[in-house]
Amino acid sequence: MSSAKPKHTFSTRLWHWINAWAIIVLFMSGLNISNAHKYLYWGDYGFDPADAWLAVIKFPGWATIPQHYNLAVARDWHVIAAWPFGVGLLFIWIAMLVNGHFVRDLVTGLRDWTPSAVIASLKAHSGDQVDHSYNPVQRILYGGVFGVLLPLMVLTGLSISPGFEPAAPWLVDLLGGRQSARSLHFIAAWAIFGFFVVHIILALANWRLIAEMFTGGRRDSEVAPAPEPEPLPPVEGAPEHA
């Protein structure tokens, strides 16, 4: 029986699918909430459209939860999905630190940020041989999502939640005000959406990546090497070597 460790641990796979559901619900319900006031501001003040730095489009019903404008229901869905999203993020960070996934696969060095490393990563991904290790581009992207975007979504989401500011005014001040937190929440949400789209396209390009997120896969370096072929029998009449 092989003792090879899976490429993706059970904790990673469990978090991956729960988090995917939570992000979809959060994003679609967030679009419905955005339809209530489509203007974004910086600082604490945000009522007059003339002071807005961006006017967001009105999102169609098919892209929102629920599929018609209902601010109360949309907020309910947002809160329901926010709990597994936030608790799951804390869980996966603890798991990544304990099982070594963060240090082994996501930590980057200066060499990973060079143009040559990025070009080599893109060439390797587009080649016939699929490298199952994390290349520099993947480490940078996943590190940015785990270390910046997902935590930023939690912090800004708390800051714009009704009734949270009196409990932690320092967090709202740190983010530049409640309206700044709302703007950052919007920007981070669309950055995650962009990553989500790229992630799905790359996964669909190689169905084994999707299968591994269900089965766990196996690390190439830990798979037992194939047995060496047996030597051919000597040819009759051939001289023997000393």
Residue 219: predicted pLDDT: 65
Using the predicted structure, report yes or no on whether residue 83 has a pLDDT greater than 60.
yes
Q: How confident is the model at residue 224 (pLDDT cuts 50, 70, 90)?
A: very low
C-alpha–C-alpha distance, residues 28 and 20, integer Å: 12
Residue 158 lies in a domain: yes
Residue 135 lies in a domain: yes
C-alpha–C-alpha distance, residues 47 and 105, integer Å: 45
Residue 62 lies in a domain: yes
Contact criterion met (CB below 8 Å) for 85 and 154: yes
Q: Residue 12: CA atoms inside 13 Å, Cβ hemisphere, count? A: 19
Per-residue pLDDT tens digits for 132-143: 567 888 888 888
Using the predicted structure, report yes or no on whether residue 240 has a pLDDT greater than 80.
no
The whole-model pTM stands at 0.80
Residue 132: predicted pLDDT: 54
**How many domains are there within the chain?**
1
Q: How confident is the model at residue 230 (pLDDT cuts 50, 70, 90)?
A: low
The CATH number of whichever domain residue 28 belongs to comes to 1.20.950.20
Q: Which of 8-22, 49-63, 150-164, 213-227 has the lowest mean pLDDT?
A: 213-227
Residue 117 lies in a domain: yes
Q: Which of 45-59, 81-95, 197-211 has the lowest mean pLDDT?
A: 197-211
Domain span at 75: 10-222
C-alpha–C-alpha distance, residues 171 and 159, integer Å: 7
Mean pLDDT of 121-125: 68
Q: How confident is the model at residue 62 (pLDDT cuts 50, 70, 90)?
A: very high
Per-residue pLDDT tens digits for 183-206: 999 999 999 999 999 888 878 877
Contact criterion met (CB below 8 Å) for 15 and 95: yes
Angle of CA points 74, 76, 82, to nearest 5°: 100
Residue 116 lies in a domain: yes
77 or 103, higher pLDDT: 77
Residue 9: predicted pLDDT: 78
Contact criterion met (CB below 8 Å) for 101 and 9: yes
Amino acid at 179: Q
Mean pLDDT of 57-64: 97
203 or 126, higher pLDDT: 203
Contact criterion met (CB below 8 Å) for 66 and 30: no
